Structure 1
């Protein structure tokens, strides 16, 4: 196995910093707490640490609402702490992967603050803005541009009184979606990724990455079909690969809600130069009562689990799947 493919046999351990290890007694886990546990993690046989978001954030969605991609939230520590952690991880022969959340930012990110300032602001189209539905007063009930529902409840459109338009948010109203159609957005993201690589990061776990390319025009219906696996999705990932990832021996994992086996193979086929592997969710739903939320458990049906894993392992013949039992999106046992 080539050094480029080291990740195929790696054991990855997710660290959810807030609840992992608290070094200063404030009740919240932090980077120095992780640093103190590295020998333990090495003893377990861990090859890669996946670090859930520690970027500066208002914490509306536990750090998945980022207000500064290149700074550390004070609740977790400092940039000096992350630099020390990266160095200490490498000294033990391990690697560190950062969460990458670039489908959306926080509404406190400077990009969005500029975008919402006026309709003619240079960063206006860094996000998705739309006028009210025809025949409706902006801000009135039912005036949202489409009937889409956000994944975290409520409308996927938030009215902004400053400019009288709505911005798109697939998750909370404080997580406006970035407009990847704008090349300036993509350039800013790639530059940020490259600077983290220069700091020593060994790869990225990419949050809801298959939602970057939207299908226009936006019309009523189920939001997923307009948001997921859009017409430029492969183009964006191939561009990211060229501009950031290629030839650096990194690990890239795409979290892809709802992706099919066929789509996953396209995203991970090495010949296409996109991602190393994907996170899929089908097997994660098997221990929940069908039709009920994930907090309604049932005994895990082992035959169904074996059938599902076999389908994915044989279906992605030219790509790569990730094998995992749990992550931060699942209820804790």
Structure 2
């Protein structure tokens, strides 16, 4: 039996059972695939999409309405303003009057220069600055540093003159001379004045070599105990400092005069140093302290040192 169903090519076709949708035909049978039917756009005779009638175009009708409304409102406003325009005076149309000129500033404050003669420079500066004036000092000799030590002679402009606030006043000063107070009169019953303390001898001026010898001697004595002879040898030896004999003697004499060295204490320090190194008997340590190959202390100095360490 021949099937009278016409043969359709595969594609999407309107579904009569579901208006507004399409169903896919695979060329032999209808499938379960369906989709909304596409909207048909009218086409003009020349093939371009046909436009909707003008009264259906929202993009046109809405702006036109707005424009019409604006024209109407504008006409009403113009009528109202036209009615009022008849009452407008020439004064209303005249340009704004120029602003009144700014009042001139008040004249600067005037100040009378205070009297400062006889005051200290410090007191004068405070008085002038409190009056709203600047201060500068002038001295014939010296530089004004400590204002308490300077006395005011005059000022420029002079005291009583009228100046403007903030002006600079030049204060002429001189160094204050302090006079010694007179000694009080002695009464018959007054106790005699104590004798003045003896003047300390001035330290001798040192040459560069002497100063260097003093510093070297102090350095050696801070390191270990030295006798006078031992320190002299250390300062003058070619294996030591190599100072001239007179410079070494000057350095040692200087330390003795200032009390910077005590040979008995040096002997005690040397004795303790030897005992810290090894054990010594009394006689053995005495020989070490007095020998010319040892420390070269005198016998009295060596005995002081032995007693200090308990031998």
Would you call these one fold, judging by a TM-score over 0.5?
Answer: no
Greater Rg by CA: 2
* TM-score w.r.t. length of structure 2: 0.17
Give the structure with the higher percent helix: 2
* TM-score w.r.t. length of structure 1: 0.16
